[in-house]
Structure 1
Amino acid sequence: MDSEIQVKDIQLDQAVENETSVVVEAGVPLQDAGGSDPKDGQQKRGFSDGDGGYVKKQKRIREAWDEKAEARILDESGNPLYNDPRRPKKKVACLIGYCGTGYHGMQLNPGTKTIEYELFEAFVKTGAISRDNSNDLKKSSFMRAARTDKGVHAAGNVVSLKMIVEDDNLLEKLNAELPDQIRVWGIERVNKSFDCRKMCSSRVYEYLMPSFCLLPPKPTSPLGKHLAETLNANPDSLREDKEGVEWWEEYNRVLGERGISAEDVEKVLEATINSELATDETDALGKQIRRIGTELRRNYRCTPERLAVFRDALKLYEGSHNFHNFTLGKHFKDPSGTRFMKDLTVSEPFVIEGTEWVSIKIHGQSFMLHQIRKMVGLAALVARTGASLDRITDSFTNIKLNIPKAPALGLLLEQPVYEAINTRLEKFGYKHVDFAPYETEMLEFKKSFIYDKIYAEEIKENVFYGFFSFIDGFVGNDGFKGIKMFDFLTGNFSKVNNGEKEVKEAKKKTQPAETVAATEEATKVTETEPLEAKPATE
Structure 2
Amino acid sequence: MTDTPIEKREGDDDVVTTTTTPILANAESTETTTTKETVINENNDDENENSAEDPNDYLRIRNGDRLGSTAKRQRLLKKEQNTRIVDENGNPVYANEKRRPKKKVACMIGYCGTGYHGMQLNPPDKTIEGELFEAFIKSGAISQNNSNDLKKNGFMRAARTDKGVHAAGNVVSLKMIIEDNDIVEKINSFLPEQIRLWGYQRTNNAFDCRKMCSSRIYEYLMPTYSFLPPRPGTVLAKEIEKAEKEFKGTTREDKEGEEFWINLMNKCKDAGVTDNEIDQIYEANRIGLDLSVPLEAAAINFRKISRECRGQYRISNERLELVRKALNIYVGSHNFHNFTIGKSYKDPSARRYMKSFKVSEPFLIEGTEWISIKVHGQSFMLHQIRKMIGMVALVIRTGCPLERIEEAFGENKINIPKAPALGLLLEQPVYDGYNQKLTGDFGREALGFDKYEKEMDAFKHKFIYDKIFNEEQKEHVFSGFFSFIDAFNGVHENSGLPIFQFLTAHGIVGNNQPINDGDE
What is the TM-score of this pair, normalised by structure 1? 0.78
**TM-aligned CA deviation for residue 366 of structure 1:** 0.4
Give distance in 2, aligned partners of 1:276 and 1:98. 39
The aligned residue for residue 451 of structure 1 is: 465
Q: 2:258 aligns with which of 220, 240, 245?
A: 245
Give distance in 2, aligned partners of 1:274 and 1:415. 41
> CA contact under 8 A between 1:270 and 1:277: conserved in structure 2?
no
Instruction: Note closer, same or farther for the CA distance 1:349–1:430 as it changes in structure 2 (3 Å cut).
Output: same
Give distance in 1, aligned partners of 2:496 and 2:92. 58
Instruction: Note closer, same or farther for the CA distance 1:213–1:496 as it changes in structure 2 (3 Å cut).
Output: closer
* CA deviations over 1:216-246 (Å, ceiling 9, x no partner): 0001100111111222233311011111111
**Within-5 A mapping of 1:152-301:** 152-269=165-282, 271-272=284-285, 278-301=291-314
**TM-aligned CA deviation for residue 276 of structure 1:** 6.9
**TM-aligned CA deviation for residue 200 of structure 1:** 0.5
Q: Which amino acid aligns with 1:158?
A: V
The aligned residue for residue 118 of structure 2 is: 105
Q: 2:94 aligns with which of 34, 57, 82?
A: 82
Unaligned 5+ runs, structure 1: 1-34, 42-69, 501-538
**Is 1:434 aligned with 2:411?**
no
Instruction: Note closer, same or farther for the CA distance 1:199–1:293 as it changes in structure 2 (3 Å cut).
Output: same
**Is 1:311 aligned with 2:324?**
yes
The aligned residue for residue 479 of structure 1 is: 493
* CA deviations over 1:437-475 (Å, ceiling 9, x no partner): 111100000000000000000000000000000000000
Between 1:234-243 and 1:434-443, the stretch displaced more is 234-243
Q: 2:368 aligns with which of 355, 358, 370?
A: 355
Q: Which amino acid aligns with 1:459?
A: Q
The aligned residue for residue 51 of structure 1 is: none
Between 1:293-302 and 1:277-286, the stretch displaced more is 277-286
Q: Matched residue of 1:106: which SS?
A: coil
Percent of counterpart pairs with the same letter? 58
Give distance in 2, aligned partners of 1:454 and 1:172. 28
Between 1:421-430 and 1:220-229, the stretch displaced more is 421-430
**Is 1:407 aligned with 2:423?**
no
**TM-aligned CA deviation for residue 261 of structure 1:** 2.2
Q: Matched residue of 1:184: which SS?
A: strand
Q: Matched residue of 1:38: which SS?
A: coil
Unaligned 5+ runs, structure 2: 1-11, 19-81, 515-520
> CA contact under 8 A between 2:494 and 2:513: conserved in structure 1?
no
Give distance in 2, aligned partners of 1:147 and 1:443. 21
Instruction: Note closer, same or farther for the CA distance 1:480–1:305 as it changes in structure 2 (3 Å cut).
Output: farther
**TM-aligned CA deviation for residue 72 of structure 1:** 9.6
**TM-aligned CA deviation for residue 424 of structure 1:** 2.0
Give distance in 1, aligned partners of 2:496 and 2:118. 31
Q: Which amino acid aligns with 1:129?
A: I
> CA contact under 8 A between 2:216 and 2:429: conserved in structure 1?
yes
What is the TM-score of this pair, normalised by structure 2? 0.80
Q: 1:417 aligns with which of 430, 435, 453?
A: 430
The aligned residue for residue 145 of structure 2 is: 132
Give distance in 2, aligned partners of 1:225 and 1:105. 39
Q: Matched residue of 2:92: which SS?
A: coil
**TM-aligned CA deviation for residue 40 of structure 1:** 5.0
The aligned residue for residue 365 of structure 1 is: 378
